[in-house]
Structure 1
Amino acid sequence: MLTVDLVKSALRRLPPVDHPPGPERSRAGVALILAGPTHELSICFMQRVARTGDRWSGDIALPGGWARVDELRLRDTAIRETREEVGIRLDPDQHLGDLPAVDIVRGRGSDVTTTGIVGPSVFYVGSALPSLEMDPGEVADAFWLRCAHLYTSGNLTSLCRPGAPVARPAVRVDHRVIWGLTYRVLVRFSDLVLGEQSPLIPDSPG
């Protein structure tokens, strides 16, 4: 069972996480925001607006986005983007820790190139689920999802995109799925906190 104490303990075991500086649009920060009673936690997700030319158009994601040049800590990026996208004002005291970066890649199979990193930061905002105020220019929907939903085997599925050689593991959320980069962040979080008890299937980038 996922609890706040379990999350805190797992994050304390990590060495300090360093997200080195990089070129513009090569570093992104996302917020994995936990809320709810400590034994019935939920995570905040959003659905990006459909936009031509956006590789993540319409995807389910964690609040976050590209770092500004002056944002040395991706945690600061996650805090800013969360306020802008879903209206939650994260307090530094609510920060539990940072996860190692997840690579952003282009290409498929053996032809994969790393183009940047996503630095996930974990927060717990209390036993109540804050209301979400969406930026309509960026966010089509925003919602809280019970962690138990993520770890229920009946909600685990796979997604095969047009032109992709293999199906990718995913989590079903009503008529939508969590997959790709956001799914890999969830796997990293779940593997750290739950270890071998995590039911999420690892996913290779690309």
Structure 2
Amino acid sequence: MRFVEALRRNGVHGRRRDASPGRRAAIAAVFRTHQGREQVLFIRRAVNPRDPWSGNVALPGGRQDAADGGDDEATAIRETLEETGLDLRTPHWERLGRLVEDRIAGGGPKSLAVAMYGFAARSEGGESHVALTLQPTEVAAAWWYELWGLTLAFFSDLLRASSAGQPLVGEGAPPAFARAFTASAQSPVARSAAWLLESVRLRGARRTALTLAGASTMLLAAAVSVGIAVARLK
């Protein structure tokens, strides 16, 4: 688990921040490995006109209750259990702590401090402790998603190029992840693979093959022309 190993090895933990009215919430980044691939759990919130995040794709979590005793991690654990049926208190799960600095959502009397805590399954996914039981009034769907490889690299490059936020991996990423990963989207091979996949999606395999064949023919003709010109100069 590369991401979890980086968290473990470098001790990336965030700083607590407080919203002015003292309102708090917490979310859980829940990791597992499945068939050797590292995945994180995402949910889609149920449609509810009273919920400002109605229908959004998100991580499990929610507002802090008095029963949580002001403990952000307890909030993340309780909300995850209520929404997805995963009990992060059991020995099957490793607690990774507060992963990043808290974010303040909103402003004024309605501002909310949101903390993010990490949890990692101690064994390969597929066992009963990673089975999901969704609370339909709060969660419409949930899935384990692999946000690594080219997808992770491309999102990092997008954030880096647009200055919209800190890259997830590679140059400009938090030090722990800049060292643990390489943004492969910058390589010619990755760019070529991305173009090929997008071309197949838009044009179909046959038209893409014809395009490649045409480009190869043009390159060959250009190479022959250059060779003839060089021979004549000699």
Superposition TM-score tier, normalisation by shorter sequence: 0.5 to 0.7
- Residue 54 of structure 1: how far off its partner (Å): 2.3
1:60 correspondence with 2:88: no
Q: Which structure: greater helix fraction?
A: 2
The aligned residue for residue 48 of structure 2 is 51
Report the counterpart of residue 143 of structure 2 in structure 1.
143
1:29 equivalent to 2:26? Answer yes
Deviation at 1:9, TM superposition (A): 1.4
- Alpha-carbon distance in 1 for matches of 2:19, 2:177: 30
Q: Which residue of 1 aligns with 2:80?
A: 82
Distance 1:185 1:28 in 2: 23
**Aligned position for 2:206:** none
Question: Within 5 A, what are the aligned runs for 1:1-206?
Answer: 2-10=2-10, 12-14=11-13, 17-18=15-16, 23=21, 26-36=23-33, 40-71=37-68, 72-91=70-89, 94-106=94-106, 115-125=111-121, 126-129=123-126, 130-148=130-148, 150-153=151-154, 191=174, 193-195=176-178, 197=181
Q: Which runs of 4+ in 1 moved over 6 A?
A: 154-158
Which of the two has higher C-alpha Rg? 2
Distance 2:178 2:109 in 1: 28
Verify the 8 A CA contact 2:45 2:53 in the aligned structure 1. Answer: yes
Kept in 2: contact 1:103–1:118 (CA 8 A): yes
- Could you say which structure has the greater relative contact order, defined with CA pairs below 8 angstroms and 6 or more residues apart? 1
- Count of equivalent residues: 169
- Asked if the contact 1:101/1:117 (under 8 Å) is kept, the reply is no
How much has 1:140 moved relative to structure 2? 0.6
Unaligned runs of 5+ in 2: 184-234
- Percent identity, aligned pairs only, is 24
For residue 41 of structure 2, give the secondary structure of its aligned residue in structure 1.
Answer: strand
- Residue 57 of structure 1: how far off its partner (Å): 1.0
Deviation at 1:103, TM superposition (A): 2.1
Distance 1:68 1:187, change over 3 A: farther
Calculate the aligned-residue CA RMSD, in Å.
3.9
Q: Partners of 2:110 and 2:47 in 1: how far apart?
A: 24
Please name the residue that 2:194 is paired with: none
Residues 32 and 124, structure 2, Cα contact 8 Å, conserved in 1: yes
Q: How big is each residue's C-alpha offset from its partner over 1:146-191, in whole Å with a ceiling of 9 and x where there is no partner?
A: 1326505289889xxxxxxxx996xxxxxxxxxxxxxx89959x73
Instruction: Give the Cα separation in 2 of the matches to 1:186 and 1:61.
Output: 19
What 5-or-longer segments of structure 1 have no aligned partner? 159-166, 170-183, 200-206
